[in-house]
Amino acid sequence: MFRIQQLQWLGIGVAAVGCVLLGAASTMSNLAEHDRHRHGAKELARFVVLLDAANAVSAERGPSNSAMGAERSQAGHMNQVLAVQRLQTDRAIAKVAEEYHSYMATEDGEAAFSALMSELAQGRAAVDAVTATDYDQRTTEQAATAIMSMFDAADRAAEIRNIVSDYIVAQVPQLAGEIMLANHASALREHEGRLGSYVVLALMSAPNQDERFTQLMGQSEGIVHSLWMTGLSMADDLLGTPAVKALIEDVQADFFQGSLVLAHETIEKHAGQNTLSPWDFTAKFMPGLRSSELLRTAIVEAAIDALDADADKTMRSVINSVTLTTLVLLALISAAILLRRMLFAPLMQLHEHVLALARGDLGEPAPIGGVAREVSDIADGLATLRKHQAEKRALEQEQRQLNRQLRRMADTDTLTGLLNRRALLNRVDAIFRRADRIGESVGVALFDIDHFKAINDTHGHAVGDEVLAGVSRLINGALRTGDALARIGGEEFVLVLRHVDEAKAMDLLENYRQLLETTAVQRKMGIKVTASFGVAIRQAGSRLSWDEIFSISDQRLYVAKGSGRNRVIASGYSSATRRRA
């Protein structure tokens, strides 16, 4: 049969489970969205490494162009600049290999990376061949071959960038727009650089031979305008950050209104009296490309910031879902607790109080507060019953304690605290039965203190009592576990030794004798005593009664006294024995 409280908890439990399920669904959805945003930000941060490598390969052409176009006086410096740029390119490529090692380990990745390194090595070799040639003997075709080889290396880097871009978009589809803009920015920087390289080749050619490079420059310019118009000019609308907007304006000013104008003017003047050398042109042209590099970085950073902001937003949604779910659960639990405290708990407490009384638990229970008067009256009735039961128990405990005290007084020698004759006689039958059952021999020894009367006569009975108590403490403290010591009267004592034969009993009793002989039993006056011992062994299964074994021990005690005292006797008989058992 259901209780009302059980039905209440069932209803609240169903409501709580429903609340938890709804909260969990919302939380898991938001957590998944949060993880997607965080993963996207992480992938974009990794993608920057790849963009930096592609940019480094493109940027290496600037120092290469300068080195190939430098006159003898400038060659040393420009070669040093080129060496530094190559080192930076190598580090950027190595970082890509490290960051994307799992992709580079695939067949496609390994092939693309090998192609990049091969093309880059060929391009560098071609550049070095030009710079190693005397300035006056350098030809445009040599320089063009070298620059085209560097273009091939840049194309391989762009291929890797595009392949990895597709991989990232496949993993994180929401990054498609940001990846496209970043790739456009990287490609913009590449074709801006190519445009400048074609101008350098034109400058290295005779005015009537630069038409081919002028056409290639025009193609690069068309690609630059296409990239700009198809996405980059609207990047601020897509990302909406002040940094991106400012850099778009900088690209307009630095490249389109600066470096691009310089390139056209240089080509136009080349047919006439051009005062710019390839090295001078490169030095003036390259700074205009810096804002395009920064734009690429700003696009990625803005995308990462946007993803982080979205991740934070979804995390706040997670927190809100958890908080709301928790509040609803707390409200349900509070309602259940309130009903339990005001309605069900007092009755259940009274039920437990009744059960406690039935078990004999008379402890004062915690008071029941906030209950109806009828429940309070029942509690008062139980308190009265508990009080009467406690009084009855106290009387019973007092009676039991008194009985234990009386039994202890009846069984204990008041002077020494040892067993008295009555208690010993009550135990010996059980000791003998156990010994017979387990096949164990038992030794019974009697001893009394030698010349004890002289101690009483010399020092008084109070000192004599102290000597008796001291002997009892000394021997009792040396007993083995399971052995028993009793005082049967005056200065006479009985020892019951378990599991001993005659030799073992003699050893034990001799130790006790020597202990008495050498130890002061009354410390204040330093009194030492000796004792005489008589012992008999009752073998397992023997028909000897207590009286009989006691009598044998008593006779041997008298033999010990008659033989000069202070000794242990385990054999012989004396006709002077008394029947005192």
Lookup result for tokens 């402890």? 363
Q: What are phi and psi of 498, to 5 degrees?
A: -85, 150
Average pLDDT over residues 48-53: 82
Average pLDDT over residues 127-156: 84
Q: What is the pLDDT of residue 579?
A: 45
Distance CA 74, CA 402 (A): 120
Task: Give the pLDDT confidence of 366-376 residue by residue, as tens digits.
Answer: 776 666 676 76
Q: How far is CA 508 from CA 440, 486, 528, in A?
A: 17, 16, 20
> What is the rounded average pLDDT for all residues in the chain?
83
Q: What is the pLDDT of residue 441?
A: 95
Dihedral over alpha carbons 390, 396, 399, 403 (to 10 degrees)? -130
Average pLDDT over residues 487-511: 95
Burial degree of 293 (CB within 10 A; 0-12, 13-18, 19+): buried
**pLDDT exceeds cutoff 60 at 577:** no
**pLDDT exceeds cutoff 90 at 560:** yes
Q: How far is CA 229 from CA 115, 185, 328, in A?
A: 31, 12, 54
Average pLDDT over residues 394-408: 75
Q: What are phi and psi of 84, to 5 degrees?
A: -65, -45
**pLDDT exceeds cutoff 50 at 580:** no
Sign (positive/negative) of CA torsion 360, 361, 364, 370? negative
Q: What are the tokens at 457?
A: 């006569």
Cβ contact 266:274 at 8 Å? yes
Pairing of strands 442-449, 484-489: unpaired
**pLDDT exceeds cutoff 80 at 564:** yes
**pTM higher than 0.85 for the full model?**
no
Q: Which positions ≥6 away from 353 have C-beta within 8 Å?
A: 365, 379, 382, 386
**pLDDT exceeds cutoff 70 at 133:** yes
**pLDDT exceeds cutoff 60 at 97:** yes
* Residue ranges covered by each domain of the chain: 4-319, 370-411, 415-569
Average pLDDT over residues 190-202: 85
More confident residue, 43 or 461: 461
The superfamily (CATH) of domain 415-569 is: Reverse transcriptase/Diguanylate cyclase domain (3.30.70.270)
Residue 133's SS3 state is coil
Distance CA 490, CA 449 (A): 9
pLDDT band at 272 (very low <50, low <70, confident <90, very high): low
Average pLDDT over residues 397-417: 79
Q: What is the pLDDT of residue 581?
A: 44
Instruction: Find residue 533's DSSP bridge partners.
Output: 447, 568
**pLDDT exceeds cutoff 60 at 274:** no
Q: What is the pLDDT of residue 527?
A: 94
Q: What is the pLDDT of residue 397?
A: 81
Average pLDDT over residues 2-20: 75
Q: How many CB atoms lie within 10 A of CB 40?
A: 25
Q: Quick one: three-class SS letters along 182-198?
A: HHHHHHHHHHHHHHHHH
More confident residue, 59 or 538: 538
Distance CA 499, CA 489 (A): 26
Distance CA 510, CA 570 (A): 11
Q: What are the tokens at 378?
A: 């029942």
